[in-house]
Structure 1
Amino acid sequence: MLYKNLPVNTGPNDEYPLNEIILEAIHKRFIGITSYLSQCFIVRFDLHFPSSNAISPDPLKENQCLQAFWKKLVADKLKRGEDAHTHLEYFWVRELEKAKHGHYHCFIIFDRHKLDSIGSIQNHTGLFGLIESIWKRVSSGGTVHIPTLAINGLDVRQSYPKEKENAFYALSYLAKPRGKNTQPGVRAFGGSTPKKYNLAVSTPIPNIAI
């Protein structure tokens, strides 16, 4: 199945529908930056609350923790300093199934040339180490999980159209309707304000082997 000419994950027989409102929100944050920059890099991760009662299972308080997380990660860290990430998009969805707490599926799209190392959760290094430390602090002990298929991140290079297709297919998983919260006043998804890129002056594709 395709969504705006990009493949989406609806199962081998198209048996799993997707929430088109969420899918469109993902697409808005994906298509501009990946069409503008010659090389992007996508990081996928999931945020979980601690099993203890450090944070009450209140969806409004959970979303407040998430807002604090994105502010500390993006506004206070990634977009500051000499190596600030001027081109960056992020997105999240909240899911609640059998656990008391909701959890969040997230992704960040970077300019590949500005990202040094994603590091690892196990060694508390690089970008993943930063994500882990901030989330643990704002959620009073929460944990970060990296999906197996995204453990090394996802490259999206303009000169390799298949990479863009594979990346959007992977991200479309976040639009599955199961577990999405519909409680009034509780946001089920959100993210960065999609930047309007002037694709007429997109960054050139380097004429080098990668």
Structure 2
Amino acid sequence: MIISTNNYYGFDIQVDEAKDQGCYDDILQRILDMLIFYISKHNKVLFVRFDVRFPSKYCNDSSNQTFSEFIAGFIKFHQRKGLDPVYVWVREQSREKHQHYHCILLLNGNKIRSYYEILQQAEAMWNRKLGVEQLGLINFCNRSRHGELQSNGIMLRRNDENFSDVFNKCFHWASYLAKTTTKDYAPLGIREFGSSRIPKDWPIHPKVQSILQ
């Protein structure tokens, strides 16, 4: 199902009616569930966005295997540091040779405050995985599509008086992953999005419940 309005359960999402760009409902729901679960679990959450690309001349098949191995190692590395990482990713491809991936990462904000070292680690691990030395394959998402500086590493605090606004900001930015544009090009049987598992029957914190419509 495609959502074509700029609202999803009361939260802002990135749609563009002029370009006939909507958002996939199943991806939006996974992102929303992940945010609700994680901020119910941790009273402070560091929200991070990043993109993953292959070098233009890199020889790679069309599966998700290389990326899946990278993200598994990246998550395991930060689990060992006690940061309790969870993630959502999507695969996209337009006219370029290789697919690319958009990701959100949620970390225990009581254990870490800076997103920059996290993405530096991602860059180092992705380069090692590919056997290359090339900057820029991990997009730190600290600039808009127009090149303007923008903040990454949003700290979402459950007890903040602006909690609802910051939650909405995180979800709005994350909704970019659900956009319909440049999807549906994966070979048959290849997934176009994935995420950490969310436990069954997890309790929603009352403060989080209060902002849900």
What is the TM-score of this pair, normalised by structure 1?
0.80
The answer as to whether partners of 1:45 and 1:146 remain within 8 angstroms in 2 is yes
CA distance in 2, matches of 1:176, 1:152: 20
SS at match of 2:32: helix
Query: Which residue of structure 2 lines up, in the alignment, with residue 122 of structure 1?
Result: none
Report runs of 4+ in structure 1 exceeding 6 Å deviation: none
| SS of 1:28 mapped into structure 2 | helix
Q: What's the RMSD between the two structures over aligned residues?
A: 2.4
SS across alignment from 1:27? helix
- 2:41 aligns with one of 36, 39, 49: 36
CA distance in 1, matches of 2:74, 2:192: 20
- Structure 1 residues 26 and 99, CA gap change in structure 2 (3 angstroms): same
Note if 1:84 corresponds to 2:89: no
Number of residue-to-residue matches in the alignment: 189
Distance change in 2, residues 1:52/1:15 (3 Å): closer
- Give the superposition deviation at 1:79: 0.8
Distance verdict in 2 for CA 1:135–1:202, change over 3 Å = farther
Distance 2:168 2:19 in 1: 17
Q: Percent of pairs identical after alignment?
A: 26
Q: 1:110 matched to which residue of 2?
A: 107
Question: Is the partner of 2:16 in helix, strand or coil?
Answer: coil
The structural deviation recorded for 1:140 is 3.2
Change (3 A) 1:14 1:162: farther
In structure 2, the gaps of 5 or more residues are: 1-5, 145-149, 209-213
Q: 1:7 touches 1:165 (CA, 8 Å); kept in 2?
A: yes
Which deviations, in whole Å up to 9, do the C-alpha atoms of 1:40-98 show, x marking residues without a partner? 11111110101123x33x211xx1111111121112x1111xx4123x32011011101
Whichever residue aligns with residue 188 of structure 1, its letter is: E
Give TM-score, length-normalised by structure 2. 0.79
Partner of 2:126: 135
Alignment gaps of 5+ in structure 1:
120-125, 204-210
Kindly indicate whether the alpha-carbon contact (under 8 Å) linking 1:37 and 1:202 is maintained by their aligned counterparts in 2. no
CA pair 110-14 structure 1, distance change in 2 beyond 3 A: farther
2:114–2:153 CA contact under 8 A, matched in 1: no
Amino acid at match of 1:108: L
What residue number does 2:172 align with?
Answer: 169
Distance (whole Å) between structure 2 residues aligned to residue 33 and residue 154 of structure 1: 14
